[in-house]
Amino acid sequence: MEMHLIDISIIIAYLVIVVFIGFLISKRAGQNIDSYFLGGKTVPWYVLSVSNASSMFDITGTMWLVYIIFVYGMKGAWLPWLWPTFNQIFLMMYLSVWIRRSNVLTGAEWMTTRFGEKRGGELARLVVVIFALVSVIGFLAYGFQGIGKFASVFLPWHLSPNMYAVLFMGITTIYVIMGGMYSVVLTDVIQFIILSIAAVFIGIIAMLKTSPLQIAANVPHGWGSLSFGWKLHLDWSSLIPAVNDKIVADGWSFFTIIFMMMLFKGVLISMAGPAPNYDMQRVLATRTPKESALMSGFVSVALFPRWIMIGGIAVLGLVFFSPQMRAMGNNIDFEMILPYVINNFVPVGLLGFMIAGLLAAFMSTFDSTVNAGAAYLVNDIYKRYINPDGSDRQFVIMSYIASIVIVVVGIGFGFMAKSINSVMQWIVSGLWGGYTAPNFLKWYWWRFNGYGYFWGMIIGIVAALAFPLFFPALSALNAFPFILLLSGIACVIASLFTDPEDEAVLKKFYFSIRPWGFWKPIYEKVVGENPDFKRNAAFKRDMVNVAVGIIWQMTWLLMPLYLVFRNFKAMWISIFVMIVTSMFLKRNWFNKLETD
C-alpha cells in the first residue's frame, strides 16, 4: 500500500514517543522489582483500569471479533463468553479483593500464601510459573501473527509479515525493558486515547457510508437479533455460501447448547480467578483491595470504544467487501476485512493516526504480556532459587534480561504458528482447559493442598493437549467437561492421599484473605483464637451481584453495536438496562465494598 508522507510521519512520531517514554522513566522503574513490575503499588486504580482495557484492545482479537460480528451478527455478541469476558465481573465483585489482600508480586508467589513453603507449596508455585510462561509465549505468538498480517497490508516498506512482527515487537521491547510497569501503564493510557479516537472515527465513517437498508441487504434473516433458538438459523447461501461452511466448521450451529456450555465453562473459569498474566498483575498493582475491585469493574466501561470500532469495521466489510469475500470461495479469509476497511475508507492524515492507533493496540497487549512474564522469571525463579539475597540492582538487570528472553522465544513460536485462529484455539483449549479445576478448588475448599494443585494442573493440561490428537472431531468447548472431570479427579485424589497443608498456613490464609466456601474446620480454629473474627457471609450477595453485573457488562457491548447498526430502539433499551443495573450495583456492591 502506498502511504502519504503525512501518514508515515504520524506513525514514526508515535513510535519515537513511546520509546522516549521508556527512557524517561527508566530511573523510577529501576528502583527495585516492586517498582519495576507493580509500579510500586502507587498507580491510581482508574489508570490501571484504562491500562488493563488497553491491553485487551489488541489487533489480533479485534480481527477475530470483527469476523464474529460479520458472520453471526448480534448473536456474535455472546461468543466472547468463550474467553470468558465476564470473568471481569467475578473479579469486580469479590475475587480482586481476595487476590489483592495477599500483597504479593505474582500469581505464583500467591501459591505460597495459600499452600505454604513445603514441597506441595513449592510444586504448586512451580507449575504456575510454567503455566504463566507457556501462556505468555502463546499470547506473544498470537500477537505475532496478528501484527504481521496487519502491518504487511498497510505499511509501505514491503517487508514480509514476519519481519514486520519482529520490527514492532523489537520497538515495544525497548520501552518495556527501560520503564517496566510505569512505562507500560503510561504508554497504555496514551495508546488507549489514540485507540478510542480511532474507534470513534471508524464508527462515524461506518454510519456515514452505510444505511440500515444496505446492511439488511447483505446479511441473512435473524442476523440483527440478539435472541436465538435451538439452532442458529443463519443461512448465508444466497449471499456468501462459504460462510455456511465456516459456521459448520466452528461447530456453533446448535447455539443453545453452545450458549449453555459457554455459561457453564465461563462461570467455573471465572470463579477460578484470573490466569497469571497482565490482568492479575494489574490487580496486584492496585493500592488497596477496594481499589482492585474498582479497577476490575471499570475495565468493562473502558472497552466501550473497542466495540464501536468492531461494529464499524464489520458493517463496512458487509456492505462493501462482501463481493470480494464471495469471490474467494472456499478460501475465504475473514482476517482481511480489517485491512480492507482501513485501506479504503480512511483519508490521508487520519489514516496515519488510525494505523498508529491499531499499532498501539498490539503494543499495549504485547508490553503488558512481556512485563507479566518477566515478573515470573525474576521473582519466582531467579530470586527464589538462584539468587535470593541479590541486590535491587541485580534483580532489575535480570528483569531486563528476562524480558528479552521472553520476546525472543515468543518470536520463535510466532514464526511456527499457522494462523491467528490456530493459536487462539490452542490457548483456549490447551491451557485454560487444564487450569479450571485446581484454581477453582484453591479458593473454596480448605482440604485442597499443593500436591492436589500440582497434579490437577499437570493432568488437566496434558488431557487438554491430548484430546485434539485422539478426538480431533471434538471441539475445545465440548471437550471442556471431560478435561475438567479428569483434572478435578486428579485434584481430589492427590489432596486426599497426602497430608493437609500446615494448620498455621491455612489459618493465616483464611484470616487474611477471608474467602467464603468450605472452610468450616479452619474457621472454627481461627475464631477460637480470634473471637471477634467474622465469617465471610457474602456468598449470596456476591452471586446476585455477579448475575446483575454480567447483564450490566453486556449493555456496554450492545450499546455501541446497536448505535453503529442504527438500531436505536434496541440501543435505548440497552441504555435503560444499563442505568437500572448500575443503580442496583451502586447499592448492593459499591456501597458495601470494604475499605481495608
Structure confidence at residue 346 (pLDDT) = 81
CA-nearest of 449, 522, 432 to 483 is 432
pLDDT one-digit tens code per residue, 519-538: 999 999 999 999 999 999 99
Q: How many CB atoms lie within 10 A of CB 528?
A: 10
Grid cell of 325 as nine digits:
469475500
Structure confidence at residue 62 (pLDDT) = 82
- The domains found in the chain, sorted by start residue, are 5-417 (1.20.1730.10)
Q: What is the mean pLDDT of residues 258-279?
A: 88
> pTM of the prediction?
0.90
Band of pLDDT at residue 181, cut at 50, 70 and 90: low
CA dihedral sign of residues 358, 360, 363, 368? negative
pLDDT at 59 over 80: no
**DSSP assignment of 183-196, as one string?**
HHHHHHHHHHHHHH
pLDDT one-digit tens code per residue, 304-346: 999 999 999 999 999 999 999 999 988 888 878 887 888 788 8
Structure confidence at residue 16 (pLDDT) = 84
Structure confidence at residue 355 (pLDDT) = 83
pLDDT one-digit tens code per residue, 413-459: 777 765 545 555 555 555 666 789 999 999 999 999 999 999 999 99
Residue ranges in 497-536 assigned as alpha helix (H): 503-513, 520-529
Structure confidence at residue 92 (pLDDT) = 97
Q: To which residue does cell 434473516 refer?
A: 221
pLDDT one-digit tens code per residue, 499-521: 999 999 999 999 999 999 999 99
Q: What is the mean pLDDT of residues 350-370?
A: 76
pLDDT at 102 over 90: no
Q: What is the mean pLDDT of residues 125-138?
A: 83
Structure confidence at residue 429 (pLDDT) = 53
Q: How many CB atoms lie within 10 A of CB 174?
A: 17
Least confident of 42-56, 137-151, 186-200: 137-151
Structure confidence at residue 460 (pLDDT) = 87
